[in-house]
């Protein structure tokens, strides 16, 4: 069964914009969200040049899927999903974080 992750990345960051949790599940979710943000905002993004591998392990076997991303034009939220295991989510408040790869003039 897939999960749906609703993530406000700011909840995981300290006042300097670094990941606040030192370790554990919160740290891993923050790091994975950062990878997804980077993939979604990389110029000329495509799975061949900017692979964003799924982290799920359905049936204790690593999912072979690559995360697909889209940025909502109205909310600027990043919507993401794995086409194989259907893990998916939404990331908000990512603009200007260390993972935002858009050009400065595109911000």
* Tens-binned pLDDT, residue by residue, of the chain (107 aa): 568 999 999 999 999 999 999 999 999 999 999 999 999 998 875 544 557 999 888 788 999 999 999 999 999 999 999 999 999 999 999 999 999 998 754 55
Based on the structure, what is the number of domains in the chain?
1
**pLDDT computed for residue 1 by the predictor:** 54
- pTM metric for this prediction: 0.86
**pLDDT computed for residue 104 by the predictor:** 58
- 106 in a domain, yes or no? no
| β-bridge pairing 68-71 and 88-92 | unpaired
Question: SS3 for 102?
Answer: coil
Between CA 104 and CA 8 the distance in angstroms is: 22
Between CA 68 and CA 28 the distance in angstroms is: 19
- 61 in a domain, yes or no? no
- 35 in a domain, yes or no? yes
- 62 in a domain, yes or no? no
Show the domain range for 22: 4-56+67-100
């Amino acid at each position: 069964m897939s999960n749906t992750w609703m993530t406000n990345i700011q909840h995981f960051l300290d006042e300097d914009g670094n990941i606040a949790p030192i370790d554990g599940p919160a740290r891993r979710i923050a790091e994975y969200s950062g990878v997804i943000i980077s993939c979604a905002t990389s110029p000329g993004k495509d799975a061949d040049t900017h692979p964003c591998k799924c982290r799920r392990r359905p049936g204790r076997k690593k999912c072979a899927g690559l995360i697909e991303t889209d940025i909502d034009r109205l909310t600027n939220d990043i919507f993401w999903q794995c086409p194989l295991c259907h893990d998916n989510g939404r990331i908000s408040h990512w603009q200007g974080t260390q993972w935002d790869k858009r050009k400065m003039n595109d911000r």
